[in-house]
Amino acid sequence: MARTPASVSQASGIRRAVTYVPVARLPHTADEYPQNCSTFVGALHDVRYYQGILRNADNFSPVTRCEILESGYHRGCWRETLGEDAARDYFEFLTSARVFAFCTIENAPGTTFGCRLSLSANNTQALLKGLDVSPQFLGPLLGEPDYWAPGDFAVYDEKGALDRIDFYCQQPRWNIHKRDVPWCIYMTHQVASKSTTYLVVCSDKQPQIAVVKERLADLLDTSQSQSKTWADSSDPFLLHLIITHEAFSEAKSIITALRYRLYDQLDRVDTYSHEPSDRQDLEKLTIELHVVSQDTDSVYASADMAGMIVRKLADAHSRYRRSVVDPALVNATTKTEDALRYLGESIESQKRWLASYKSRKDIAMNLVYNLVTQQDSATSTTIARETKADSASMKVIAALTMTFLPATFLSSVFGMAILDGAPWWLFVVLVIPLTALVIGVWWAWSAFEFIGNKLHRWKPSFAQAGGSTDGGGTDSGSTNV
C-alpha cells in the first residue's frame, strides 16, 4: 500500500489519517509490555495489538530527547535534557517526589499514526515499564488522535484504600488546520508516597508548552519567597489543570477571530438587504457563511471535548480528595477543585456564545435565501407583466389579421383573369359575411379554450372537496345508519 508522507499532508490537503500504517498484530503474545502491567484492563486492552505497535521501529527516534523538570519536597527543582543512556537509567529508577517529563512528536512517514516519538524504542519500553503506563495511552503517546473519553482509573490496596490514580487525556486541537499534532498528558500518582509523575507529549511547535514549563517552574520554586505557592502546588492534578487552562486560553484568539469573520459576513448581509448586489457576490457570501459555519462547528466540538476533560478531571480529583487525610493538603485540593469548577463554567459559557454564533449565521443564511427568493419573485413578476403585454399585443395583431384576411383573399381572387370585369358590389357582398364568419370562428375557438381551462381547474378542486353525487349519497346513507 502506497503511503503519503505525513509532513506534506496539510499542505497537499490530504488528511493525516491517510498516512497511517495498519497495525500488524503479533501471531502470539510476547512476554513484554503490557504483560504484567498493573493498569492492564483485559476488557479494553489487546496485548497483541499494542505489542504490534511497539514493533514498528519507525515510531521511535534513533536518539532520545526528553526534557525533565524534577522536584522534591525538600529541595529545589531543576531542569535537564536526558540523552539515550541517562534516560534509560532515569526511567527505570524514579525516586523523586514529582517528575515532569516532556517529549515531542513530529510528523514522519512510515509510522503507525503519522508521528514519531522523540524517544528510542528501548527508552520507550523503559518508560512504559518504569511508570507502569496504562496501555490505553500508547496510541496518544505516539501521536494518534484520540476520540475516546479521557482515561480515569484507580488502583486500591488490599485494605480497600486508594493506592494509585491514573489520569490521561488529549487536549482538543482548537486550531486543527494549522497544528494537527495532538497534545497528550499522562499522570500517575502514588497516594502512600505522595509521588506524582507526568508524561507530556506534543509537537515542538506547540506555543503553549513553553508557557506551561515556565508556570510550572515558578510554582515549584521552594525558595522562602515562594513558600506560599509551593504549598498551593502540592495537588497532584496541578499540571493537568495548568495545561487545560493554557489550552483553553489558546482558544480565545481562535474564537475571537471566528467572531470577527462572522460579523464581517453579517455586515455584508445587511448591506445586501438594502442594496442587492449581483449573483457572484451573493455566491461568495453564501460560501463564506458556510465556511464560518463549519469552523464554528469544529470549535464547538473542541469546546465540548474540553468540557468533558474538565468534568472527568473533577471526578478523578474528587476521588483523590476523599483519600486525603493530611490537613495541610486541604487548602491545595480546595483551590484545585475551585479552579476546575471555574474552568468548566467558563467552557460552558464559551459553548453558549458559539451556539449563538451558529444561530446568527443560520438567521443570516435564511435572510439571504429570502432576499434571493424575493428578488427572483420580483424578476418573475416583471417577466410575467412583459409577457402579458406581449400577449395583448399579439391578440390585437391577430384581430387585425382576422379582419383584413378575407378582404385580402378576395382581392387576390378578383384579381384573377377569369373574374376580370366583375362588378364591385359583388366584392363588398362577399367580403362582409366572410369577414364576420372568420372573426366568429376565431372568437368561438378562444371562448372554447377559456371554458375548457376553467373546467380543468374546477375538477381537481371539486374532487378535493369530496364533491361527488355518489359519494354524497353514500355519506348521507351512512349518516342515517
Q: Taking residues 375-404, what's their average pLDDT?
A: 76
Of 46-50, 140-144, 237-241, 287-291, the poorest mean pLDDT is in 287-291
Question: pLDDT exceeding 70 applies to what percent of the chain?
Answer: 83
Of 53-67, 168-182, 232-246, 272-286, the poorest mean pLDDT is in 272-286
The predicted pLDDT at position 403 comes to 78
pLDDT per residue as tens digits for the range 265-307? 888 888 877 776 666 777 788 888 888 888 898 899 999 999 9
The predicted pLDDT at position 285 comes to 82
Between 314 and 473, the higher pLDDT residue: 314
All structural domains of the chain with their residue ranges: 1-208, 236-394
Q: Looking up cell 495537588, which residue turns up?
A: 235
Tell me which DSSP letter residue 8 carries: G
**Other beta carbons within 10 Å of 39:** 20
Of 9-23, 177-191, 313-327, the poorest mean pLDDT is in 9-23
d(CA 189, CA 195): 6
The predicted pLDDT at position 415 comes to 73
Task: Tell me: pLDDT of 124 over 90.
Answer: yes
The predicted pLDDT at position 481 comes to 32
Q: Taking residues 132-147, what's their average pLDDT?
A: 90
For 59-108, where are the E strands, in sequence order? Answer: 66-72, 75-82, 98-107
The predicted pLDDT at position 417 comes to 65
Q: Taking residues 215-244, what's their average pLDDT?
A: 75
Reply yes or no: is the peptide bond before residue 34 cis, omega within 30 of 0. Answer: yes
The predicted pLDDT at position 79 comes to 65
Task: Tell me: pLDDT of 57 over 60.
Answer: yes
- C-alpha 433, offset from chain centre: 81
Of 81-95, 306-320, 330-344, the poorest mean pLDDT is in 81-95
Between 212 and 458, the higher pLDDT residue: 212
188-217 burial: b if 16+ Cβ within 10 Å, else e: bbebeeebbbbbbbbbeebebbebbbebbb
d(CA 4, CA 15): 10
The predicted pLDDT at position 461 comes to 55
Q: Taking residues 31-49, what's their average pLDDT?
A: 89
Composition of the chain by helix, strand, coil, percent to 5: 60, 15, 25
Q: What is the pTM of this model?
A: 0.74
Summary mean pLDDT of the chain: 81
What band does 243 get if pLDDT is binned at 50, 70 and 90?
very high
d(CA 68, CA 79): 6
Between 369 and 94, the higher pLDDT residue: 369
The predicted pLDDT at position 473 comes to 45
All three cell numbers of 215, joined, read 508556570
The three-state secondary structure class of 184 is strand
What band does 185 get if pLDDT is binned at 50, 70 and 90?
very high
Task: Tell me: pLDDT of 362 over 90.
Answer: no
Task: Tell me: pLDDT of 2 over 70.
Answer: no
Task: Tell me: pLDDT of 139 over 50.
Answer: yes
What are the beta bridge partners of residue 263?
A: none
The predicted pLDDT at position 49 comes to 93
The predicted pLDDT at position 62 comes to 92
Q: Taking residues 137-165, what's their average pLDDT?
A: 90
Q: Taking residues 58-78, what's their average pLDDT?
A: 78
